[in-house]
Amino acid sequence: VSVTAAKGFVAGGVHAGIRHSKPDLAIVRSEQPAVGAAMLSRNRVQAACLQVNREHLSLAEPQAVVINSGVANSATGERGKLDAIATAAEAGRLLDLDAEEVLVLSTGVIGVPLPMGKLLPGLRVATQALSPDGGTAAAEAIMTTDTKPKQAVAAGAGFTVGGMAKGSGMIHPNLATMLAIVTTDYPLEPGEAIEFLRPAVDESFNSISVDGDCSTNDAVILLANSASAVERTPAADLAFAACLRKVCADLAEQIVADGEGVTVLAEIAVTGAADDRQAKAIAQRIATSALVKTALFGRDANWGRVLMAAGSAPFNGGYAEVDIDRVTLSYNGSVVLERGAPLGVEPDVSGATCAIELDLGLGSGAASYLTSDLSYDYVRINADYRT
């Protein structure tokens, strides 16, 4: 159950000394030629490593990923870019790859330069640690405030998809950076990886709300090395896509569930929107509303807050379409509002999960979002992290 579950992948995680005592450096590589794709943060402030990765992805297919925790290498100026390039070059030398075949990810404090005197020697140790059994060590080395490593696997007929992620649900010591590495031995041609990755990410990592903040370092990377002997057919492609979605969704759910301070996982399902994009805007607005999230923490089916959020979902410079007279809303299957009329029902929301279903009655647009509550611990950890 790890990033090395698929044939032909090795990984390792070690302590390079970037952080005080925890493992802080991981490598994932394919042992045979792979193709790959990456979805990187769209934040206008890009960590140095993401800038370098974009360049590398334009030049070559990625064969290995280096990830360090502890320092984000973001807002580090020209030096940060040179450090990311040097990291890829040294990893390439050790792994017998071109520098452009190596992607570099960082997560941690921003505005602080990478300690290259520790990172470069650490790469040698990490390379020596590479093994088909090293997936869990790698998943541990990329953790920051995560309380447990996040790994997932899904197997199809003759092929496997595996992955690891780090991310902080609601919380991160610095920027809620979300990283995921997904590997597969399913055979993909160059250029195909992104076509499979994008929809899987949209409905998993892009449909979870942490705290509405988008890191400068977020990245999801897919490596596919064709090590399985599977024959490509339309049916096999569909099976692969399903496995990829499953692994991404599994990792995304683990991220939300592991958010420090999280006491409730809530799924916001929006149906009947004018179109899918408006459904997603509304689901996201509900999932990120501080008032909705504190009500979840208080186990309060405060549905007025859901309506308030639904009515103010930014869309095309205004708000997404809502007609209160057509809205039906339920909590855990109990309808509280039917076509705009409150029913006086008090649903049970005392559990650790909550299903909020909002039917707008306008069209066929639908979307769902996974979110969590906003608790005292969220405030505590984010207020305290540097002190």
Q: For a second copy, which is the closer residue by CB, 54 or 157? A: 54
Q: Confirm or reject binding of residue 25 to a second copy (CB under 8 A).
A: no
Q: Among 33, 191, 314, 351, which residue interacts with a second copy (rule: CB under 8 A)?
A: 314
**Tally of CB atoms within 10 A around 332:** 15
Q: Among 111, 190, 191, 351, which residue interacts with a second copy (rule: CB under 8 A)?
A: 111
**Tally of CB atoms within 10 A around 56:** 22
Select from 150-158, 193-201, 242-250, 290-298 the region that touches a second copy (CB under 8 A): 290-298
Active site residue 177: yes
**Residue among 114, 113, 6 at smallest CA distance from 66:** 114
Considering just the CA atoms, what is the radius of gyration of the chain in Å? 21
How far CA 108 is from CA of 19, 68, 146, 173, 325, in Å, comes to 10, 8, 12, 7, 47
Q: For a second copy, which is the closer residue by CB, 5 or 85? A: 85
Hey, which residues between 75 and 94 contact a second copy (CB under 8 A)? Answer: 75-77
Contact 99, 87 (CB under 8 A): no
Q: Confirm or reject binding of residue 242 to a second copy (CB under 8 A).
A: no
CB of 76 to a second copy, least distance (A): 7
Contact 174, 217 (CB under 8 A): no
Q: For a second copy, which is the closer residue by CB, 43 or 136? A: 43
Q: Among 155, 194, 242, 307, which residue interacts with a second copy (rule: CB under 8 A)?
A: 307
Helix (H, G, I), strand (E, B) or coil at 385: coil
> Which residues make beta-bridge pairs with 163?
152, 182
CB of 307 to a second copy, least distance (A): 5
Tell me the number of residues near a second copy by CB under 8 A: 72
**Residue among 157, 153, 162, 154 at smallest CA distance from 233:** 157
Q: Among 2, 4, 30, 46, which residue interacts with a second copy (rule: CB under 8 A)?
A: 46
Compute φ and ψ for 318, nearest 5 degrees: -130, -140
Q: Confirm or reject binding of residue 168 to a second copy (CB under 8 A).
A: no
CB of 176 to a second copy, least distance (A): 7
Hey, which residues between 57 and 76 contact a second copy (CB under 8 A)? Answer: 72, 74-76
Q: Among 35, 175, 222, 354, which residue interacts with a second copy (rule: CB under 8 A)?
A: 175
Contact 72, 107 (CB under 8 A): yes
CB of 329 to a second copy, least distance (A): 9
Q: Among 117, 234, 318, 333, which residue interacts with a second copy (rule: CB under 8 A)?
A: 318
Q: Among 22, 31, 45, 334, which residue interacts with a second copy (rule: CB under 8 A)?
A: 45
> Which residues make beta-bridge pairs with 38?
221
Q: How far apart are CA 153 and CA 250, in angstroms?
A: 9
Hey, which residues between 181 and 240 contact a second copy (CB under 8 A)? Answer: 211-216
Q: How far apart are CA 347 and CA 330, in angstroms?
A: 8
Among residues 4, 177, 328, 371, which one is catalytic? 177
Helix (H, G, I), strand (E, B) or coil at 49: helix
Q: Confirm or reject binding of residue 335 to a second copy (CB under 8 A).
A: no
Q: Among 20, 231, 316, 333, which residue interacts with a second copy (rule: CB under 8 A)?
A: 316
Q: Return the structure tokens found at 231.
A: 């024959």
Residue numbers annotated as active site = 177
